[in-house]
Amino acid sequence: MAPTETKDNVKRLFSEYLERHGHRKTPERFAILTEVYDHEGHFDIERLYARMKGKNYRVSRATLYNTMDLLLECDLVRKHRFGQAQAQFEKAHSYKQHDHLICTSCERVTEFCDPRIQSIRATVSEVTGFRVHHHALHLYGQCRECAEKNQTPSRPIGT
């Protein structure tokens, strides 16, 4: 769950964004923002919809999809597509940069942070003059559990 200061800040940023772009400030949009920032990790829109329905929010799928588009536009949410899976989202404001390991067997996504990646990013920016706003690194392979499950013991020839 995001700290109260972060929640207040994202509400302010979202409110300013809606005002600047002529969008209505509806309670449903702010309820969606709150649910996003109360959630830890990645989520897809259908799970967010089910969670909100379970809490008796009166939010339609259309409102949810439209609000997620607005949250993406104002950089409060990031969208990821890990392999063939449904698009995943995560909060983006005041969120530590991290990268992803995606298991191609069980589709589990594991976050990791390696400071050397930040160093590479800074070097690339310095050498090319390219201003990096954010980056996404996705490494695909097999998690330890799936690799261990998929290992078959070697059998002697002829048995």
**DSSP structure string for 47-110:** HHHHHHHHTT----HHHHHHHHHHHHHTTSEEEE--TTSPPEEEE-TT----EEEEETTT--EE
**Percent of the chain scoring above 70 in pLDDT:** 89
Confidence band (pLDDT; 50, 70, 90) for 154? Answer: very low
- What's the CATH architecture for 96-151? 2-Layer Sandwich (3.30)
| Angstrom distances, CA of residue 60 to CA of 49, 85, 147, 154 | 8, 23, 41, 54
User: CA triplet 103, 81, 57: central angle to 5 degrees?
Assistant: 110
- Compute the average pLDDT of residues 34-55: 91
How far is it, in rounded angstroms, from Cα 81 to Cα 138? 10
The helix/strand/coil state of 43 is strand
The domains of the chain are located at 1-95, 96-151
Q: What is the pLDDT of residues 62-73, one digit of tens each?
A: 999 999 999 999
How far is it, in rounded angstroms, from Cα 108 to Cα 103? 5
Report the top-level CATH class of 1-95. Answer: mainly alpha
